[in-house]
Amino acid sequence: MKKFVAVAGNIGVGKSTLVEMLSQELGWTPFFEPVAENPYLADFYRDMQTWAFHSQIFFLAHRLRAHHQLALYPSSAIQDRCVYEDAEIFAQNLFLQGHIGQRDYGTYQELYRTLIEFLPPPDLIIYLRASVPTLVQRIARRGREYERNIPTDYLASLNYLYESWADNFTLCPVLSVPSDDLDYVAHPEHLRLIADKVQEKLTGKNEIVFEPGLPALAGRPGSIETRHSQQAGATKF
């Protein structure tokens, strides 16, 4: 049976790399975020107040179309960033920071809520989390000119909203992966660990936890713990 999986996470966390590597590991088709295609993105990073609404409308339209196409795709696919992140994290963050006004934000949310009702959710969302220092390092490493001046407080605000979103998302299971010390490029065992978890039938929200103080020897993480989050809290198993 075909599967539709999305990889979520903050700017620079490593979504595209994981999508590429998991697609090869699992034999699925990758679908990547259309960063270079957004005609507002460079202007947005220079002047968020002016271009935030325009940029978010572009991303929403493109992501809704991509989500619909993925739902109809005949075989298993994995997506770099999902439509829920656009509306529930990025647009909300811009509204909270005053870059999108109340009237525009209300219009945006009404459009999102209406259209999302017609789309089936993914089978699973993989949420990559990382600290702001890690994000800054990875953003600098990939060297995109328009990302060089992203404020650290902007990344921190996104991280806060991501954590809340992942804890409360109910449309499909969420697999949370702490990626500060995760290197699935250098250590194949890290990739295989995630691939194994993805292939499990998830009944709730699960988290891969790399216990601190246990070294990764020969590319193998030390001790792994899976948590199943429920409304009342977390159950270890």
Which residues are bridge partners to 224 per DSSP? 210
Whole-angstrom Cα distance, residue 189 to residue 69? Answer: 32
Angle value at C-alpha 51, between 48 and 57, nearest 5 degrees: 120
The pLDDT, as a whole number, for residue 212 is 57
Rg (CA), the chain: 18
Annotated catalytic residue, options 43, 47, 80, 86 = 80
Is pLDDT larger for residue 150 or for residue 207? 150
Q: Is the pLDDT of residue 218 over 60?
A: no
The pLDDT, as a whole number, for residue 207 is 60
Query: Is 196 in the active site?
Result: no
Structural domains of the chain ordered from first start: 4-236 (3.40.50.300)
The DSSP result for 110-147, as a single string, is HHHHHHHTTSPPPSEEEEEE--HHHHHHHHHHHT-GGG
Whether the CA torsion 138, 172, 211, 200 is positive or negative: it is negative
Report the predicted TM-score, pTM, of the whole model to 2 decimal places: 0.82
Q: Is the pLDDT of residue 194 over 50?
A: yes
